[in-house]
Amino acid sequence: MNFEISRKRMVETQLIARGIADQRVIDAMLKIPRHLFVEEAMATNAYSDSPLPIGEKQTISQPYMVALMTELLNLSGGERVLEIGTGSGYQAAILATLVDRVYTIERFRPLALRARRVLDSLHLLNVNLKIGDGSVGWPEEAPFDAIIVTAGAPDIPAPLLQQLSVGGRLVIPVGNQFEQVLKRVTRTADGFQSEQSVGCRFVKLVGKAGWGIEE
């Protein structure tokens, strides 16, 4: 299978055709080899228009959703970005090509370790990864210019809002455990402004400021 051809087709038919217009995001999606972030047996499906399982009951998001959420962050290149839910590491890889520094948190150790290996193999050395409860953010490294949450939350976690710099953007799916709406929150000098994007469905954001801790 020619993965480069599949990647170009993915970008043309799934992203550009659906309105993704940020050329930096498009270039990042063309550059990063998505097939390296899924199990080898599923590599031929890596560029399909759907999420895929990655273990631990988690998924790698649909390519369009990765591109849309990245575009909504409105990144210019010098930002420090926090990602909640490393998963496969694919979203972190896209961000790493676009910004100065990525901080990403994953609660499942096997996923975190595998993501770290793939990111290192691609020489994406501007990604800081830790294992922990992403719903409470990474206060030691705050504030962040942008925050992206790749799991659905019942509400926007207060700790993440507080870790956003003035002018910063937070993109997060908010709703119940079965369907959510993608929201973008911008922090201003006076508070927070919220906008809605598309309907979506993500795995649960598990944690103290999410759906609670699962035993």
Please give the full DSSP string across 59-101, using - where no structure is assigned: EEPPHHHHHHHHHHT---SS-EEEEE--TTSHHHHHHHTTSSE
With 0-12 / 13-18 / 19 or more C-beta atoms within 10 angstroms meaning exposed / middle / buried, residue 30 is middle
Res 213: pLDDT = 77
Peptide bond preceding 143 in cis form (omega within 30 of 0): yes
Prediction pTM value = 0.96
Q: Where are the beta strands (DSSP E) in the chain?
A: 52-55, 58-60, 80-84, 101-106, 127-131, 144-149, 164-175, 180-188, 191-200
The ranges assigned to domains in the chain are 3-200
CATH class given for the domain over 3-200 = alpha beta
**pLDDT tens digits for 100-112?**
999 999 999 999 9
Res 38: pLDDT = 96
Residue 1 has pLDDT above 80, yes or no: no
Phi, psi (degrees; rounded to nearest 5) at 54: -125, 10
At residue 214 the predicted structure's pLDDT band, cuts being 50, 70 and 90, is low
At residue 215 the predicted structure's pLDDT band, cuts being 50, 70 and 90, is very low
Q: Average pLDDT of 140-152?
A: 98
**pLDDT tens digits for 48-84?**
999 999 999 999 999 999 999 999 999 999 999 999 9
173 and 152 in contact (C-beta within 8 Å)?
A: yes
Which one of the listed residues 6, 48, 61, 76 is annotated catalytic? 61
121 is catalytic: no
Mean pLDDT of the chain, nearest integer = 96
Q: How many whole angstroms separate alpha carbon 76 and alpha carbon 99?
A: 7
139 and 147 in contact (C-beta within 8 Å)?
A: no
At residue 192 the predicted structure's pLDDT band, cuts being 50, 70 and 90, is very high
Q: How many whole angstroms separate alpha carbon 182 and alpha carbon 188?
A: 20
Lowest mean pLDDT among 87-91, 179-183, 186-190, 209-213: 209-213
Beta-ladder partners of 183: 172, 196
77 and 98 in contact (C-beta within 8 Å)?
A: yes
